[in-house]
Amino acid sequence: MCGVLTKNKRRLNTITLRWLASACCVRHDRGVARVLVTEEIAERGLDRLRAAGHEVDVRLGLNGDALIAALQGAQALIVRSATNVDATVFDAVGGLLVVGRAGVGLDNVDVEAATRAGVMVANAPESNIVSAAEHTIALLLAMARNVPQAHAALVAGRWERSKWEGVELAGKTLGIVGLGRIGKLVAHRAIGLGMKIVAYDPYISAERGRQLNVDMLPLDQLVATSDFLTVHLPKNKETRGLINRDLLLKAKPELRIINVARGGIVVESDLAEVLRDGIIAGAALDVFEQEPVTDSVLFTLPNVVVTPHLGASTREAQDKAGEVIADMVQLALAGDFVPFAVNVNASEANETLKF
């Protein structure tokens, strides 16, 4: 494969060339690479890397200078969401070939800096979609029936049947902001509960929406129409602060909002204000602008349900994430096609590998 690099380099971008060249050297050394793992992932995933002959170096809780020091001599890094892999890391570490994110979101990995440094970034985008969709439905039901509030009252010695009257989901309209992998699963499950589904997603056509039994609407109209609103978007420059006071003022007072996506998409101060003022009826949040968080004005409101970022916290999702990202890292180290690479033209690389 090494001889192919010169022959085909005009068809490959910089990161693809560096990846192939580095992987070529790794393979020449009998496939042995050092893989640094800084957060807990499924042991079965680590075992796959060990079985391939790689050295797996597990050092939990590294960030900043400690992370940079530990990365010296490593060809691969595997993280979840707590390890901050920023431009400083990529600038300071030579020889790093691939960063694997055991999960979906890439908030903690500077993909642009990785690309400039010629480092592949891969994730496991389908590993937690079922768990996230199910957690959305769990929060939807908990919020509609005031389950956490009623539980807290009863264990505190108060029998308050009339105080915690809820609402049915059947016949209600669920608005989905972002009809991607998770949004579609939520729609399917909510339809099974008898809900009408409307959605906003600039990348989904009205025809595709009809195929999914979903009416596609502009965002303003979606908010004004929905009884429940659930957010399923990545956090980026376009989506940060998307759900704000101006938008929520268009809602009907019965609206209840759910966020199991990313903190920062919903402006928390605006949400607290409209909840206090009775502009909307409730909220259920699994994610926050700053995490971990144990002190928020939202936690003081009786019509808010919160969980500590549990969307992907199932045994099945963690097993899938660990196994998938181990496979992606192993493929990258072998110089093979990496289907979940996010910053390399995998089709070009795959074509080159066929020579």
Q: Which residues participate in catalysis according to the annotation?
A: 262, 291, 309
Closest CA to 32 of 68, 66, 72, 73: 73
- Residue 95: CB atoms within 10 A of its CB come to 14
DSSP 288-324: -SSSS----GGGG-TTEEE-SS-TT-SHHHHHHHHHH
- Residue 252: CB atoms within 10 A of its CB come to 14
Find the helix packing angle between 43-51 and 315-334, rounded to 10°: 20
Q: Is the peptide bond before 292 cis (omega within 30 degrees of 0)?
A: yes
Rounded to whole angstroms, what are the CA distances from 52 to 46, 80, 336? 10, 22, 14
Closest CA to 77 of 14, 87, 65, 90: 90
Q: Which two tokens stand for residue 258?
A: 């759910």
Closest CA to 96 of 323, 254, 329: 329
Largest CA distance in the chain: 77
Find the helix packing angle between 14-28 and 346-353, rounded to 10°: 40
| CA atoms of 146 and 149, how far apart (whole Å) | 5
Question: 3-state DSSP call for residue 257?
Answer: strand
What is the C-alpha end-to-end distance of the chain, expressed in Å?
Answer: 8
Give the E-state strand segments of 38-172 in sequence order: 55-58, 76-79, 98-101, 120-123
Contact at 8 Å (CB) between 101 and 109? yes
DSSP 7-58: HHGGGS-HHHHHHHHHHHHHHHTTT--EEEE-S---HHHHHHHHHTT-EEEE
